[in-house]
Chains A and B, each alone.
Chain A
Amino acid sequence: NAGVTQTPKFQVLKTGQSMTLQCAQDMNHEYMSWYRQDPGMGLRLIHYSVGAGITDQGEVPNGYNVSRSTTEDFPLRLLSAAPSQTSVYFCASSYSSTSGKLRLYEQYFGPGTRLTVT
């Protein structure tokens, strides 16, 4: 299994540009989440999903959109990039009810996308 993959690894945007951060997992996990981590800080939850077609807001959702059309993918869209969105973005997944491993408590994190908005 590749686990949780994120693309791109690095991205530089100009203020006002839009882009989509990609996240995919191949573990048949039902739950997926997006976090951001600012320098020297802990992670903050942006949006999360408990299954295909179901999403909800986290702690810092403003300026971001998500959708979950498949179990595998959970893209994060920046609508109009701002310097305050300069951060490292982590995607995570957890919980498969079909694999026999009800590890609801354990999130698997991707390697992160480092985004700079100038």
Chain B
Amino acid sequence: DAKTTQPPSMDCAEGRAANLPCNHSTISGNEYVYWYRQIHSQGPQYIIHGLKNNETNEMASLIITEDRKSSTLILPHATLRDTAVYYCIVSRIQGAQKLVFGQGTRLTINP
């Protein structure tokens, strides 16, 4: 599975959009981009995933570049409850049960 690179930490003001980048330059054609987050010491929570098209759900939007070598997770109106570690993971859909988590980005939402 392709490796991902994320900034170790980011800050964002409450109410603003939080844009979390992820580089995955060695991604293969059949690999998806997944985003999970981990709030404090809880178990990770699925946010969104995509292959090559931009995706949106009730939690976030995922923008994948045309060459698929990078992506951005967007939390449109960040709240204090969005403070968490965000993990960008690349994996085949058939491997979704054995994800490889990196160290993620620690996002802090400031009041």
Given A50-B97, A58-B98, A105-B32, verify A90-B104 contact (CB < 8 Å).
Answer: no
CB pair A107–B101 under 8 Å, yes or no, is no
Given A90-B44, A109-B44, verify A45-B103 contact (CB < 8 Å).
Answer: no
Given A90-B43, A111-B42, verify A42-B87 contact (CB < 8 Å).
Answer: yes
Per the bound structure, the CA–CA distance linking A48 and B94 in Å amounts to: 13
Query: Which residues of chain B are near A105, meaning CB under 8 Å?
Result: 32, 34, 46, 49, 93, 96
What number of A-B contacts does a CB cutoff of 8 Å give? 66
Q: Tell me if A110 is interfacial: C-beta within 8 Å of chain B.
A: yes
Per the bound structure, the CA–CA distance linking A107 and B94 in Å amounts to: 12
Query: Which residues of chain A are near B97, meaning CB under 8 Å?
Result: 31-33, 48, 50, 92, 94-95, 104, 107
CB pair B98–A104 under 8 Å, yes or no, is no
Interface size class of A (residues with CB under 8 A): 20 to 34
Per the bound structure, the CA–CA distance linking A18 and B101 in Å amounts to: 27
In chain A, what residue has the closest Cβ to B50? A105
Least CB distance, A48 to chain B, in whole angstroms: 5
Least CB distance, A95 to chain B, in whole angstroms: 7
CB pair B43–A112 under 8 Å, yes or no, is yes
In chain B, what residue has the closest Cβ to A42? B101
Q: Tell me if A12 is interfacial: C-beta within 8 Å of chain B.
A: no
In chain A, what residue has the closest Cβ to B34? A105
Query: Which residues of chain B are near A107, meaning CB under 8 Å?
Result: 36, 44, 46, 96-97, 99
Per-position 1/0 for B8-19, Cβ under 8 A of A: 000000000000
Query: Which residues of chain A are near B96, meaning CB under 8 Å?
Result: 31, 94-95, 104-107
Least CB distance, A113 to chain B, in whole angstroms: 11
CB pair A41–B103 under 8 Å, yes or no, is yes
Query: Which residues of chain A are near B76, meaning CB under 8 Å?
Result: none
Least CB distance, B80 to chain A, in whole angstroms: 21
Query: Which residues of chain A are near B45, meaning CB under 8 Å?
Result: 109
Per the bound structure, the CA–CA distance linking A4 and B43 in Å amounts to: 10
In chain A, what residue has the closest Cβ to B87? A42
Q: Tell me if A79 is interfacial: C-beta within 8 Å of chain B.
A: no
Q: Tell me if A82 is interfacial: C-beta within 8 Å of chain B.
A: no
Least CB distance, B110 to chain A, in whole angstroms: 22
